[in-house]
């Protein structure tokens, strides 16, 4: 027994010592999206903070493709030494596994580190839409089943799922029109061909501020500093419990030493308290966030279940 206790103690000291020495070389942050996308930009901002705090380069490595699955798989199968990290996001981790087979199990094949951001969405229409507020919007669409259309950046996209959930909770029946990307999905609302959508602040905020789109509320239970005048749809549309946002975070390969994961998480939590980083995130239409690894793991489980329910109830299928 004494020998076993000594071995455990030695291993604990060894792990702590390893974590203290980490990192001693460049850390790759694999971004499973092209440069310039929200996950890429926010992950780079945090990587810079980690580089400053830990004294080694944290270099973004873009591996786009297959809706984020290629880069996510690369991290899931990487060496668990803390030198390969993932700019994780809701698409390939929370949504995609509920729609199609993925080459990884996001709840088993990744070690959560910390969330870094929540992407708030907004219910928008053309300015001429005949509803002055969110309650009037719900009443009008509910009274005219299948008359109105809503757009998204594609079947199974986050905007599609968030709008389907809102429609279900508000008892609305409308026709989905999927597009190949956010820009065309928003363009046809701007020109009046599509009635509404629930899309990111990054995609809609400038149009809302310029008066080109009418906004009724945000998708989260709290207001966002990115559009502080907009109330939560849960309150404004009288849809209690409607509280959804896309998420971005950091994750590591499974089996990465707990001490390294904990150290990275602690540094990210410190970084997310800085006012300059919060302001940069707001410029991207994102709310800064941070969690412990355990909190992120619980969050990921809850998100997996939430999206599974949305997909099942709306009978969403990728052809």
Assess whether pLDDT exceeds 70 at residue 18. no
pLDDT at 318: 81
pLDDT at 11: 44
Assess whether pLDDT exceeds 80 at residue 5. no
pLDDT at 10: 43
Assess whether pLDDT exceeds 90 at residue 14. no
Assess whether pLDDT exceeds 90 at residue 4. no
pTM, whole model, 2 decimals? 0.88
Is the peptide bond between 239 and the residue preceding it cis, with omega within 30 degrees of 0?
Answer: no
175-178 and 149-152 as β-strands: parallel, antiparallel, unpaired? parallel
Buried b (16+ CB within 10 A) or exposed e, 99-128: beebebebeebbbbbbbbbbbbbbbbbbee
User: Which tokens belong to 143?
Assistant: 């009274």
What residue ranges do the domains of the chain occupy?
25-116+246-314, 121-236
pLDDT at 1: 52
Per-residue pLDDT reduced to its tens digit, 265-288: 999 999 999 999 999 999 999 999
Assess whether pLDDT exceeds 60 at residue 40. yes
Assess whether pLDDT exceeds 50 at residue 256. yes
Could you give the percent of the chain with pLDDT greater than 70? 94
* CATH fold for domain 25-116+246-314: D-Maltodextrin-Binding Protein; domain 2 (3.40.190)
Q: What integer is the mean pLDDT of 25-43? A: 96
Per-residue pLDDT reduced to its tens digit, 189-231: 999 999 999 999 999 999 999 999 999 999 999 999 999 999 9
User: Rounded mean pLDDT of the chain?
Assistant: 93
Per-residue pLDDT reduced to its tens digit, 95-134: 999 999 999 999 999 999 999 999 999 999 999 999 999 9
Q: Do domains 25-116+246-314 and 121-236 have the same CATH topology?
A: yes
Domain 121-236 CATH class label: alpha beta
Assess whether pLDDT exceeds 80 at residue 16. no
pLDDT at 20: 72
pLDDT at 208: 96
pLDDT at 7: 45
Per-residue pLDDT reduced to its tens digit, 134-147: 999 999 999 999 99
Contact in structure between 270 and 87 (CB atoms under 8 Å): no
Assess whether pLDDT exceeds 70 at residue 49. yes
**pLDDT band, very low/low/confident/very high, at 8 (cuts 50, 70, 90):** very low
Could you give the percent of the chain with pLDDT greater than 90? 90
């Amino acid at each position: 027994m004494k020998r076993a206790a000594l071995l455990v103690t030695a291993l604990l000291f060894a792990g702590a010592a390893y974590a203290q020495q980490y990192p001693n070389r460049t850390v790759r942050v694999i971004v499973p999206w092209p440069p310039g996308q929200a996950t890429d930009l926010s992950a780079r901002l945090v990587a810079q903070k980690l580089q400053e705090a830990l004294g080694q380069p944290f270099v973004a490595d873009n591996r786009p493709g297959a809706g984020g699955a290629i880069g996510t798989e690369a991290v899931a199968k990487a060496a668990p030494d803390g030198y390969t990290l993932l700019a994780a996001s809701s698409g390939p981790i929370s949504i995609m596994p509920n729609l199609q087979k993925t080459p990884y199990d996001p709840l088993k094949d990744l070690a959560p580190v910390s969330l870094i951001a929540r992407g708030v969405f907004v219910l928008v229409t053309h300015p001429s839409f005949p509803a002055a507020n969110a309650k009037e919007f719900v009443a009008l669409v509910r009274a005219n089943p299948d008359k109105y259309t809503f757009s998204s950046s594609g079947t199974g996209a986050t905007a599609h799922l968030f709008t389907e959930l809102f429609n279900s909770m508000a008892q609305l029946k409308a026709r989905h029109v999927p597009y190949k990307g956010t820009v065309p999905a928003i363009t046809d609302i701007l020109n009046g061909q599509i009635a509404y959508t629930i899309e990111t602040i990054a995609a809609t905020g400038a149009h809302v501020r310029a008066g080109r789109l009418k906004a009724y509320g945000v998708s989260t239970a709290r207001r966002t500093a990115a559009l502080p005048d907009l109330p939560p749809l849960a309150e404004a549309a009288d849809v209690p419990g409607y509280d959804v946002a896309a998420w971005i975070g950091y994750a590591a390969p499974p089996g990465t030493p707990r001490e390294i994961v904990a150290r990275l998480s602690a540094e990210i939590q410190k970084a997310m308290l800085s006012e300059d980083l919060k302001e940069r995130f707001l410029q991207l239409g994102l709310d800064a966030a941070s969690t412990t690894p355990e909190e992120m793991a619980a969050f990921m489980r809850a998100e997996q279940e939430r999206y599974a329910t949305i997909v099942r109830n709306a009978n969403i299928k990728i052809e």
